[in-house]
Structure 1
Amino acid sequence: MRNLDIATLRSLQAVAEYGAVTRAAEALNMTQSALSMQMKRLEDVFDQAMLVKQGRGVVLSDFATELLLEARKLVALNDAIMARFTGRRPEGRLRVGLTSDWLFNRVAQAVRAFRQDNAGIDLIINDGRSKDLRVEMKRGDHDVILTTEFEAPPGAIHLAKLDLAWVGAVGGKVWMQRPLPIANSPQCAYTPVGLAALDKAGIEWLQTVSDGGKDTWRVLAAADLGITILPRGIAHPGLEAIDHGGALPPLPPTWLNVYVADGPARCLAADFAGYLRRAVCEVAAAA
């Protein structure tokens, strides 16, 4: 048996939040080499890779993503114990849920800006699918969530509306194949909408993603083994919007919505929503 180091788990959580070792190290006030050494310690403990290179950055491996779910619980328990027995407690706590599609650089920067302006706030970040986040908020698990949806329902704070696009490998040709290979997770909310559009247009398709990690579809699309669906304006290494000249059917727009839960953290959550609004508006303007 080996003991887990809370500091290494906290670093893993920061890398997941900021999407890069450099930014995570800055947020934790440590050097990049020190954080990298902590990731190496975790790899030695579990004999599994923690980080996977993606373009110029890194993402968590499938194993690290699973580990993160338990690591968050352990870090939170550690902080609760320290607060109880030392008397040092945060000024408040904010539980944030972000849909995975929108954990991109500008949103991470918004989270960082909020942290810097609210140093005494215990900020807990989780990601998930939009429909799951809505359910979890009703259950009381989140104070504020950012979702992507095909509607702007009552109670939502509407940040922006972006067009969806068929996306494939840079310079790819697979979009011209028939049946058309679709590299989109079956669990993604965009998948049934895209498939319905193809069916309506009479375009035969086949699903290339079934099981695997949540980034499997990005790998397949970047390898020109299928096409996927993304909102315009979001850059992913190796992927670009397909200039199909009308050969593929149009897709509906998607809404970026924020929901703020009633409760003691409502004012704080509304403040955090303002940081998200600024970040999202920058992306929407670029799109």
Structure 2
Amino acid sequence: MMRNLDITTLRSFVAVADNGGVTRAAGFLHLTQSAVSMQLKRLEELLGLQLLDRSGRTIALTASGEQLLAYARRMIALNDEAVSRLTDQAYEGEIVLGVPHDIVYPAIPQVLQRFNAQYPRVKVQLLSSYTRSLKEQFARGECDLILTTETATAENGEILAERPLCWIGAPTGSVWRQQPLQLAFGRYCTFRPKVMRALDAAGISWELMVETDSDRTIEATVSADLAVTAMIEGTEPPHLAQVDHGGALPELPVQLINLYGGETSGSPIVNELAALVRQAFRTISTPLQSPQWNAA
């Protein structure tokens, strides 16, 4: 007998995979935890397969679950595209979204994918720059929405997340043990003076080995174990890692990820994009690119 997969059930399955567990998935979908758990059970019973490995302290996808995940994403995307193109033709135009380069991944690709599925006739122009430049462009009306990384929030901004800065180096690297400590930072990076002040206060000598406008140059230098840098916890790319310094380096201050324009745009479609951005940053796991599977 032919069995039919339900899009709603698949959507819950993908949400659990993307958000790191049933608890966050339920919040993301605006459902109860029991409803999401029931949908997962129904999906496993329909296929006669175990999709989640619950044998450990945390849960993970089984091999069958990993295989289904790829199909589920495609089916949901096709469903959303068909519904949007056939029923929602009201919105057209362009939205400019400004995001600091170091927090684009992994939340923003998810936001852009979901927004495009819902509003295929609206183009989102992603502008990646430094916080200071983005705020200046927003003030001139050149951006509809911007995200920033700051230690405070201006009157017209809203806090989406609060995370500490952390030391970032090459996986299994050792350059952080050397003094003077070799640093690599962007020329206009707002993290740099905070890091230098923390090192000075701890009595650790340092040298600015790389000062550049190129993020790739910084990443290449750090991944070669020639210097360390600082990023918001969980935003480091996969080829870099948090430095397990055991207290040898000073703790770094907490940063705020702020949203500007989400409550003042007056445009329904901009508000929709802002809602997706809020949802992504408030439900995504920490560390951002490596969600912890939890059984809750």
Tell me the TM-score normalised to structure 1 length.
0.65
Q: What SS class does the counterpart of residue 199 from structure 1 fall into?
A: helix
How far apart in 2 are the matches of 1:264 and 1:242? 40
> What is the deviation of 1:95?
1.6
Aligned residue type for 2:251:
P
Task: Report the CA distance shift for 1:139/1:282 in structure 2 as closer, same or farther (over 3 A).
Answer: same
Find the counterpart in structure 2 of residue 41 from structure 1: none
Q: Report Cα offsets for 1:82-125 as digits up to 9, x if no partner.
A: xxxxxxx9623312111111121331111111111012223222
> What is the deviation of 1:265?
5.5
Identity %: 30
Task: Say if 2:102 and 2:235, in contact at 8 Å, map to a contact too.
Answer: no
In the alignment, structure 1 residue 131 sits paired with structure 2 residue 127: no
Q: Report Cα offsets for 1:193-216 as digits up to 9, x if no partner.
A: 001100111110000112462321
**Unmatched 5+ residue regions in structure 2?**
1-89, 289-296
How far apart in 1 are the matches of 2:273 and 2:142? 16
Aligned length: 200
Q: Whose Rg is larger?
A: 2
Q: What SS class does the counterpart of residue 185 from structure 2 fall into?
A: coil
> What is the deviation of 1:263?
7.3
How far apart in 1 are the matches of 2:168 and 2:132? 23
Task: Say if 2:91 and 2:269, in contact at 8 Å, map to a contact too.
Answer: no
> What is the deviation of 1:260?
0.5
Find the counterpart in structure 2 of residue 236 from structure 1: 237
Find the counterpart in structure 2 of residue 168 from structure 1: 169
Find the counterpart in structure 2 of residue 94 from structure 1: 95
> What is the deviation of 1:180?
0.4
How far apart in 1 are the matches of 2:212 and 2:119? 40
> What is the deviation of 1:262?
8.0
Task: Say if 1:234 and 1:283, in contact at 8 Å, map to a contact too.
Answer: no
> What is the deviation of 1:239?
1.2
Task: Say if 2:98 and 2:143, in contact at 8 Å, map to a contact too.
Answer: yes
How far apart in 2 are the matches of 1:252 and 1:130? 17
Find the counterpart in structure 2 of residue 108 from structure 1: 109
> What is the deviation of 1:162?
0.8
**Unmatched 5+ residue regions in structure 1?**
1-88
Task: Say if 2:262 and 2:274, in contact at 8 Å, map to a contact too.
Answer: no
Find the counterpart in structure 2 of residue 246 from structure 1: 247
Aligned residue type for 1:163:
P
Q: What SS class does the counterpart of residue 195 from structure 1 fall into?
A: helix
Find the counterpart in structure 2 of residue 186 from structure 1: 187
Higher relative contact order (CA 8 A, sep 6+): 2
Task: Report the CA distance shift for 1:153/1:212 in structure 2 as closer, same or farther (over 3 A).
Answer: closer
How far apart in 2 are the matches of 1:145 and 1:212? 20
